[in-house]
Structure 1
Amino acid sequence: MVTTLETSAREIAASVMDPEMPLLTLDDLGVLRDVELRGDGSVLVTITPTYSGCPAMATMRDDIEHKLRDNGYSDVEIVTSLTPAWSTDWISDEGRRKLRETGYSVPGPAPERSSGPVPLTLTVKPREIACPQCSSMNTILTSEFGATLCKAQYRCNDCFEPFDHVKEI
């Protein structure tokens, strides 16, 4: 049974903004996996990084903890879960809408994962990306890594606008 306090803790944690893309909450991004109010009144929050080694994880943990503490939850534990691995499929419809409206190219479906070894590739699999400004498919990859690991930089050859694409993971 979910209590009002548990719902409140979830809503508070869900409102924390992503430090690298502050237009999205951690809930929009799918990083916030679970919020549990324990019997002793403590809160257990589970998050999953977009990339292993994501440099924003410490900030995410601090922001969640401070926001919950500021709202009366004095005992907060935050754990990181790496299984299952985060996927761009976890970005909510609301998150995708926010990305689109602010000029990002929204990721398509994540590639299917298989068990076993991951093949090493030294080149990027080509993507067909529409320009978020003019919808042209005449775009070119300018850098596989943008301001963050989860974004690639593109340029439209029709309207000449640069834009970020959130990579499919």
Structure 2
Amino acid sequence: MSQQLPPFAELLAQCTTSAVHLETRDVYAVDEEDQDLKAWRAGELAGTADRPAWWGAFHDSVAAAVARGVTVQRARVVSLPATEYIRFEHACTPRNLAAGEDVRWLPRDQALGLLLLAHDYWLFDGHLVRWHHFAGDGTHLRDELDERPVSADRAGQAFAAVWDRAVPHAEFVLD
């Protein structure tokens, strides 16, 4: 049975304190016709100053949450040398920052000894986990909500461990 999930924007709108996102994959599927990907490959990705060219509903949701006092953090565990997707994602990260997210990066070899969960996820207010399920090629399959305290505790601990070791975006160099 398929679970009907509330949209991300709705979950973020309900947050009162924090929303944290852990990403651990080196490849996420992106449509080859994606305009940002094409622009980035051509060296023409719109910068943050050209807000109308890239700002969207996701950015609105994050900015609204941050304006309410919600802390929005994203940590990315990545392999180096980076895949094309991670290089593209790194180039787009100033957009996340402009919306109010705090983003950090952790090279995978520096995650040695950390107990990381098998899925990417968002953790809302430390108690609701939205797990992301992906295929091996990075295609998003589905999301799943989990309100079990043990899941939220583990997700929070894993995120905090990565966050403590990770490098702020402004200081992280892919080379």
TM normalised by structure 2 equals: 0.26
Q: Which has the higher contact order (CA 8 A, sep 6+)?
A: 2
Pair member with larger Rg: 1
The structure with the largest helix share of the pair is 2
